[in-house]
Structure 1
Amino acid sequence: MAAPNRFRPGLAMRLALRELRGGLSGFYIFLACVALGTAAIAGVNSVSQMMTGSIASEGRTILGGDVRFESENMDIGEAERGFVEGLGAVSSGANMRTMARTGDGADQSLVELRAVDDVYPLYGSFETAPAMPAGDVFAERDGVHGAAVAQILLDRLGLSVGDEILVGQARFELRATIVTEPDALSEGFGFAPRMMISLRGLNAAGLIRPGSLIEYSYRVRLDGGADAGRLADLREEAADRFPDAGWSIRTSRNAAPALTRNIERFSQFLTLVGLTALIVGGVGIANSVRAWLEGKRGVIATLKCVGAPSQLVVAIYLIQVMLIAAFGVFQGLLLGAATPFLAASALSGVIPIAVQASVYPVSLLVAAGFGLLTAFAFAVLPLGRAGEVPATALFRQQGFEGGGLPRWPYLLAAGLTLAVLCAAAIWFADDRRIATLFVAAVAVAFGVLRLVGLAVQAIARAVPTVRSTPLRLAVGNIHRPGALTPSVVLSLGLGLALLVTLALIDSNLRRELSGNLPDRAPNFFFVDIQSSEIDGFERVVSEVAPDGKIIKVPMLRGRITELKGAPVNEENVPPEARWVLRGDRGVTYARNLPENSRLSAGEWWAPDYEGEPLVSFAAEEGAELGLGVGDTITVSVLGRSITARIANLRDVEWESLSINFVMVFSPNTFAGAPHSWMATLTDPGATEAVEGEVLRAVTQAYPTITSVRVKDALELANRVVGQIGIAIRAAALVALIASVLVLSGALAAGNRSRIHDAVVLKTLGATRTTLIRAYVYEYGLLGLATAVFALAFGGVAAWFVVSRIMTLPSNFMPDIAIATLVGALVVTVGIGLLGTWRVLGQKAAPVLREL
């Protein structure tokens, strides 16, 4: 008799495959949950890999060369120039922001000005409309230089090709519009329309002056090839030979690092949201498996009666579950593999490179691993419980609800699988700190949701008996054994919480950009003001906007070269602080503490201080760099290294958009150094007409001063946030869809007990109307409890992100709260009634015969 009790894997596989011949009935929600989460992860990662791969494959075209040298605000020296020119063909250029005016001076616009030389471009093709060679576009004719501009600039100023435009002290003929700028991605994000001219035209405009914010670039097509090894050696050689050059070096292997980094971070976020949808779907997997096992009670009882051990029963159904999960994963992978091909055409109009779609095996394997691990982790617990139920209980038509937890091996298997799943999510993440926080938040949400479900049941159990029969039935259904309460709260809670979190973050950002920031921010920024112009500039602005407040500060450009006496090493600095060390930073000096700042450590220097150079450092950035009061920093300014001691740290209100600097030096530090000025104009009562008059007056009087209207920059940022918000809400919708599927699965899992209750109640005289009202009350109360949790958890999460990470004011939005409440109620009541409609129509006789 020992032989039948021995567990045999071959027998388990044979029985599992034989039973699968009956089809996938009862597993459609299971398949949808697995396929949806797998498709989300596979699709996001595949699109990310497609975009980063396309950028890498066209690195030389994107960069404009095999290697690119950049120097901010100060051109490279003769020795550095000789080194660069000895590498191969060189194309030089310069970028800056400035003002462009119509020929009659009646209108003007900020432009992103780019000057190129005669050999541009080294790689790719520069295309214009009408089509003409670059040399003809930028050539000088009768003392007038040529220019190519973005079509939006013509639309903004009401100009046409052939018209003339004024930039600085020179006049330019608009000879074409820009169709394709091959290296546009490497130029970075611009706040204004592009205008391209020649380097000779830039010199004629007289825009290059002491303190001008300008970037010089040198693109090189290397002689003799440019493999990865040579590019790495070249960067090392340039750093060794010219340690004080102050330039940054990029190679075609890393042509657009900022864009690539942003794509990877955004993809990571969407992947985590997809993983959340998959884990939410895991609850649906557990419900589907439990409902499916309910229909297999007779088979399980028969197997146990003929001597099948619990391990064999579990193995049979685990094999079936994992085979069906593999089929769901396969469906999700098909959708994920197709996503890049669907996205390629849409992205071609967004990214100016040829996006080549393909199948990305690594992304698909990662998604498949997540899908199978999730299916196993959430299926093994109900399978373990089923294996422990005795045959007698199954024959008495008792379910699995009262079976308690399975034995420790099943708990251990589920726990280890979930741990591997979380570890994999963190391991594959670009920013593991954020991934860890995200995974921890999901884990906490699951735990809290479980407690919420238990609390709702406890409250329902403690409620005094009410007279209304439907309400009394609803309250009883919430806390009775085998109630749907834990499943409903868990299924909807996480999806709604994620949706509320993202909606509140998006709403706070939009409110800040369109409401709070414009009210607090200055109307204009003015840069590149020379010392000889500052008094006249102030007089012009005061005449046009007499009620406005003008704040002016001196500005130089400096690059941090040493921290605490040691050379700067970005690798030892947290990612969020590396921007302070990249390239030149704006620096200033001041006698008094600047506005929108307050001291957090140390003391401010006296107005007439004449001792060693001192510096005030932004507190948050200083902490990230490991700096404190008394430490030293060395800054290279105008080719001269200055070491200053940190006298104090100050909290800076960056969100005010006022003039703020990471480093403010004591006045004696830069005594006699040439510098430009920066100014803001704040006039809350200024109308759009007054702002236009200020812009015209400053541009006409001082054409080389760059004026930035803050409202225009905020509108552009608002559009970008809106576009990102659409993608984020779409991702959150995936998680919500998974929640709805899980809710449907929970209802399916409880249908058998619902049929039993409905038949007994109808036999005792209950009407269909009474039962419908009872279900409406039940699902309404559950939806209300879930929505309250989602609002609380989502509100706290959004507050943390907005106020602690983004350092912006966070507000709770009542409209989001109401929409969440209504949405939760509609979903729970609607799907609940749809799921129980068949129950209400069940005939009593067949059910009563089984009692």
Structure 2
Amino acid sequence: MRGGLSGFLIFIACIALGVAAIGGVNSVARSVTAGVAEEGQSLLGGDIRFELNQRQVTQAERDFLVGLGTVAESADMRSMARLEDGSDQALVEAKAVDAAYPLYGELVTEPALPRAELFGEKNGAFGAAAPDLLFERLGIQPGARIKLGTRTFELRARLVTEPDAASEGFGFAPRLLLSLEGLNASGLVQPGSLVEHAYKVRLESRTSEADLARIREQAAAAFPEAGWSIRTRLNAAPALSANIDRFSQFLTLVGLTALVVGGVGVANAVRAYLDGKRGVIATFKSLGASGGFVFVVYLIQILLIAGLGILAGLMLGALMPFAAQAALASFIPVPAETGIYPAALAMAALFGVLVTLAFALLPLGRARDVPATALFRELGFEAGELPRGPYVIAAAGIAVALALLAIWFSGDRRIATIFVGAVVFAFLVLRAVGQAVQWLARRSPRVRSVALRLAIGNIHRPGALTPSVVLSLGLGLTLLVTLALIDGNLRRQIAGTLPERAPNFFFVDVQSTEVDGFASFVAEQAPGGKLVRVPMLRGRIVQLNGIDVQKVQVPPEGAWVLRGDRGITYARKLPESSTLAAGEWWPEDYSGEPLVSFSAQEAGEIGLNIGDTVTVNVLGRDITARIASLRNVEWESMSINFVMVFSPNTFAGAPHSWLATLTTPDATIAEEARLLNAVTRSFPAVTTVRVKDALDVVNRIVEQLGTAIRAVASVALVASVLVLSGALAAGNRARVHDAVVLKTLGATRRTLIAAFSLEYALIGLATAIFALFAGGLAGWYVVAQVMRLPSAFLPEVALATVVAALVLTVGFGLAGTWRVLGHKAAPVLRNL
């Protein structure tokens, strides 16, 4: 160790990079999760929250809530806000609050106004507050008046901070904050309207975790058919927490891939270091040292050096939450709890140690068994034979432990298993690709060009760079190609294919008393359009085959169906966008027991079959229906689709609204704007969603996620470049000998540069071809099989990958070889 770290800088960088990526990503995720937990009361708006869809609490339910503590009531719904003159309009997420809001946290507006002045009625208008986004969309300033439903509202302040915004979930539109009195006066709330009522309670005394659990049990026992969703401050923003967990798990797997790529650099560095210690090892053995002694000495040294890399990575990972705090503030409405997170860093350190051991044991094992005579003759390390069985078994066992730990630490173990399996498969295949390239080079016909002949010979000679370059660069490029194809296909769907297949408008909250008049009005305004309308209610699945859903084990991919409320409908005929997969559709005049048709894919994920029963709570009533059929649903069509379609008799007499879509393929932007304005003015209670606007929001989110994913994936490519540099450094001694001998035999520097360039280009081209094939296959699987979207191979991705492979291999290859060509012949020839 006193000899310094020469030859180990790339080793340290590879380990530090992977450890920093894993430790940093998990530290940032835990800092956000800790922020959610710390601010749980403010984010939830209370200690415990009861949510109901399409109905308010009964008097008995209200008495129960008031008995717990102070209650704040709010109502959320989407609607259209329009200028007084009707010249423009915008979709808003209207949130009506009472005088007790907020129970926790602080509502910040600009200017700061007393509650009565902010929301009260004055000069014929109720007050409201909105964020800058709504002012920008409508081109207005504070003090302007807008119409919501049938009433006028004055925007008296800008909404700066809404304390419980994160618990409301993702919204496609800007917030409009008003009073419950104002919402009730607007005429928007009608029987069957899609309104979510929330009752937040500030407990007077009982606030422990056990107390909160006991209150949930009391509420369930006292009102078994209430159908309310109950959340506590311990789970204030479940959607945000779940998304952060999923995203961090994915990025952890990407970081682990970078660490595995760096492991190739570890193997190269260890081999190169031991190659330079031939004489020392030979001397040890000549003086009586056993192979085990040699192995332990260098294993200790490798672990000490790996410790330096791990320590550097942990320092970078520990600093990442502090660096990410400002960047995340504009995306996540939760203050991150910055600090050091030992568990996240310990996991990263463990992965770093395991990767080091997995890749260092084989070269160390070979050094143990090479006899002293071979080492003195400078033979033994460049042969490809495996070391003794125990070393191979130990390395394989550590690799398996690494894979199992990666799966164990992941929340979605199915996805983690696929990811780890794909990396292992790619690793093995890339080893085979490297050997195949060498085999082809060995059997290629003799060419006239001296430079090309030398390049082909270098590809398959003993100690060639080919296996290391193909393996390291191939993993990094395959990962980038996969992510680029997924991102490209998603953007293509959102920006191109989906808008072409999707309807132009969704109309929500069309009242049953107005649905016929609405249809006639739309037919007049868009005579060439196709209007599809269906009844819609909101319901929550509470039992499967008589078993509470809280006690049913469901795979993560199907859990979303049981989480929260779902849109449901009834129909006499099979919907246009569905086909029967199993079972039979009910007759149009059916009047027997309630029946339901379930989406086939979701039923399979949950474990439901024909004849099973599903209990849904709708408007405070539990309704049990038997599954009569399974349907194949084209979700990607963006037409009106539901997981559950019930027989018409199921909801006889239940108040509900209607959902409609309008498709006008040839409509211009101006015609769409005119239609939107006309509908909003004539039917102010109807919420109109222009599909293109919604897709633009989704596209921006996908773009932000894609940028973050590519940034982390580039860590794997950086690791590949480091490994490539390490491979070149490891082969420099042999390169110097080759260059000197060839120059002595008459080769010019130009010939040698051409030979090395062709060698690197051929290896890079072979690696790029594999990355295109493997990455294309992986991208197709994720897009077509997991996301159920049409998948296409994107030529621009292929071209960029090939160019990247050639630039990296040729550029770094020549940079590493340039010094080799400058060596003087005499000192080298004297040591041959």
TM-score by length of 2: 0.98
CA distance in 2, matches of 1:368, 1:731: 18
Name the residue aligned to 2:169. Answer: 188
Confirm or deny that 1:526 pairs with 2:468: no
Match of 1:7 in 2: none
Name the CA distance, whole Å, in 2 between partners of 1:645 and 1:338. 55
- 2:105 corresponding residue in structure 1: 124
Q: Which whole-Å deviations, capped at 9, do the CAs of 1:578-634 have from their partners, x for residues lacking one? A: 222233322222222111111111222333334433221111111122222222223
Residue in structure 2 matched with residue 649 of structure 1 by the alignment: 630
Q: How far is 1:830 from its partner?
A: 0.8
Deviates more, 1:153-162 or 1:514-523: 153-162
Match of 1:562 in 2: 543
Q: Which digits, 9 at most, give the CA deviation of each residue in 1:242-285, with x for residues without a partner?
A: 22110011111111111011101100111111111011000000
- How far, CA to CA, are the matches of 2:818 and 2:784 in structure 1? 46
Say whether the 8 Å CA contact 2:542–2:549 is kept in structure 1: yes
* Cα distance, 1:769 vs structure 2: 0.9
The one-letter code of the counterpart of 2:347 is V
Match of 1:827 among 796, 805, 808: 808
Say whether the 8 Å CA contact 1:389–1:403 is kept in structure 2.
Answer: no
- Matches of 1:509 and 1:29 in 2, distance apart? 36
Contact 1:73 1:211 in 2 (8 A): yes
Partner of 1:589: 570
Aligned-residue CA RMSD in angstroms? 1.4
Unaligned stretches of 5+ in structure 2? Answer: none
Is 2:117 the counterpart of 1:136?
A: yes
TM-score, normalised via structure 1 length: 0.96
Q: Distance in 2 between matches of 1:120 and 1:525?
A: 32
Distance in 2 separating the partners of 1:529 and 1:388:
81
Q: Given the superposition, is the C-alpha separation of residues 641 and 64 from structure 1 closer, same or farther in structure 2, using an over 3 Å criterion?
A: closer
* Structure 2 CA distance for partners of 1:71 and 1:672, relative to 1, 3 Å: closer
Cα deviation for residue 225 of structure 1 reads 4.6
The C-alpha deviation readout for 1:339-378, integer Å capped at 9, x for no partner, is 1111112223333333231111111111111111111211
Q: Separation in 2 of the partners of 1:583 and 1:320? A: 55
- Partner residue of 2:689? 708
Give the letter for the 1:242 counterpart.
F
Find the counterpart in structure 2 of residue 205 from structure 1: 186
Pick one of 238, 241, 258 that aligns with 2:222.
241
Higher alpha-carbon deviation: 695-704 or 235-244: 235-244
Unaligned runs of 5+ in 1: 1-19
Q: 2:317 aligns with which of 301, 311, 336?
A: 336
Offset from partner CA, 1:5-59 (integer Å, 9 cap, x none): xxxxxxxxxxxxxxx1111011111011011011111111111111100110111
- SS of equivalent residue, structure 1 residue 402: coil
Residue 305 of structure 2 is matched in structure 1 by 324
Q: Deviations over 1:490-520 (max 9, x none)?
A: 0100000000000000000111110010111
Partner of 2:369: 388
Partner of 2:520: 539
Match of 2:673 among 684, 692, 698: 692
Query: 1:526-675 residue pairs with structure 2 within 5 A?
Result: 526-569=507-550, 571-675=552-656
Q: Say if 1:72 and 1:583, in contact at 8 Å, map to a contact too.
A: no
Native 8 Å contact 2:441 2:457 kept in 1: yes
1:722 to 2:703 alignment: yes
Summarize deviations over 1:87-127 as a string: whole Å, max 9, x none: 11111000000011101111111100000000111111101
Q: 1:147 aligns with which of 96, 108, 128?
A: 128
Task: Name whichever of 369-378 and 321-330 sits farther off.
Answer: 369-378
Match of 1:732 in 2: 713
Q: Is the 8 A contact 1:43 1:335 kept in 2?
A: yes
Is 1:783 the equivalent of 2:764? yes
**Post-superposition shift, 1:531?**
1.8
Equivalent residues in 2 for 1:275-294, closer than 5 Å: 275-294=256-275
Q: Quote the residue 1:172 is aligned against.
A: 153
Amino acid at match of 1:554: P
C-alpha contact 2:29 2:245 (8 A) present in aligned 1 = yes
Letter in 1 for 2:46: G
For residue 193 of structure 2, give the secondary structure of its aligned residue in structure 1.
coil
Contact 2:468 2:724 in 1 (8 A): yes
Distance 1:726 1:442 in 2: 22
Q: Structure 2: how far apart are the matches of 1:559 and 1:373? A: 46
Partner SS state of residue 646, structure 1: strand
| Residues 213-222 or 662-671, more deviating | 662-671
For 1:470, the aligned partner's letter is: A
| Farther off after superposition, 81-90 or 411-420 | 411-420
CA contact 2:265–2:723 (8 Å) conserved in 1: yes
The aligned amino acid for 2:60 is A
Counterpart Cα distance in 2 of 1:584 and 1:56: 24
Amino acid at match of 2:188: L
Partners of 1:41 and 1:274 within 8 A in 2: yes
Q: Is 1:82 aligned to 2:63, yes or no?
A: yes
Instruction: Please state whether the residue corresponding to 1:572 is helix, strand or coil.
Output: coil
Please give the per-residue CA displacement for 1:375-427, whole angstroms capped at 9, x wherever unaligned.
12111111111121111112112250116111112112211211221122112
Which of 51, 66, 77 pairs up with 1:96?
A: 77
In the alignment, what sits opposite 1:375?
Answer: 356
Partner secondary structure for residue 2 of structure 2: helix
Aligned equivalent of 1:769: 750
User: What SS class does the counterpart of residue 330 from structure 1 fall into?
Assistant: helix
Asked if structure 2 preserves the Cα contact closer than 8 Å seen for 1:126 and 1:134, the reply is no
Partner secondary structure for residue 383 of structure 2: helix
Matched, 1:470 2:454: no
Question: How many residues are treated as equivalent by the alignment?
Answer: 832
Partner Cα distance (1:475, 1:734) in 2: 31
Q: Please list every run of at least 4 consecutive aligned residues from structure 1 whose deviation after the TM superposition is greater than 6 angstroms.
A: none
Letter in 2 for 1:597: S
Q: Which residue of 2 aligns with 1:70?
A: 51
* Mapped partners of 1:370, 1:238: distance in 2: 45
Q: Is the CA contact 2:227–2:618 (under 8 Å) kept in the aligned structure 1?
A: no
AA in 2 matched with 1:58: E
Aligned positions of 1:229-268 closer than 5 A: 229-268=210-249
* Secondary structure at 1:645 match in 2: strand
Q: Which region of structure 1 is more displaced relative to structure 2, 505-514 or 577-586?
A: 577-586
For 1:584 and 1:137, the matched residues in 2 are separated by: 32
SS of 1:569's equivalent? Answer: helix
The answer to whether structure 1 residue 682 and structure 2 residue 663 are counterparts is yes
Q: Give the distance between the partners of 2:551 and 2:705, measured in 1 at CA.
A: 29
Deviates more, 1:283-292 or 1:375-384: 375-384
Q: Distance in 2 between matches of 1:399 and 1:836?
A: 24
1:809 aligns with 2:790: yes
3-state SS of paired residue (1:588): strand
What amino acid sits opposite 1:439 in the alignment? V
Kept in 1: contact 2:54–2:619 (CA 8 A):
no
Partners of 1:456 and 1:120 lie apart in 2 by: 69
Residue 417 of structure 1: aligned partner: 398
> Does the 8 A contact of 2:32 with 2:335 survive in 1?
no
Determine the C-alpha separation between the residues in 1 that align with 2:436 and 2:116.
76
SS of structure 2 residue aligned to 1:661: coil
Given the alignment, which residue of 394, 411, 436 partners 2:417? 436
Contact 2:32–2:334, Cα closer than 8 Å, also in 1: no
Letter in 2 for 1:706: T
Check whether the contact 2:611–2:626 (CA below 8 A) recurs between aligned residues: yes
Structure 2 Cα separation of the partners of residues 425 and 642 of structure 1: 43
Cα offset, 1:205, TM superposition: 0.4
Q: Find the counterpart in structure 2 of residue 16 from structure 1.
A: none
Residues 231 and 611 (structure 1), Cα distance of their counterparts in 2 relative to 1, 3 Å cut: closer
Could you tell me which residue of structure 2 aligns to residue 495 of structure 1? Answer: 476
2-structure distance, mates of 1:318, 1:569: 51
Q: Does 1:219 align with 2:219?
A: no
Match of 2:26 in 1: 45
Counterpart in the other structure of 1:159: 140
Is 1:27 aligned to 2:8, yes or no? yes
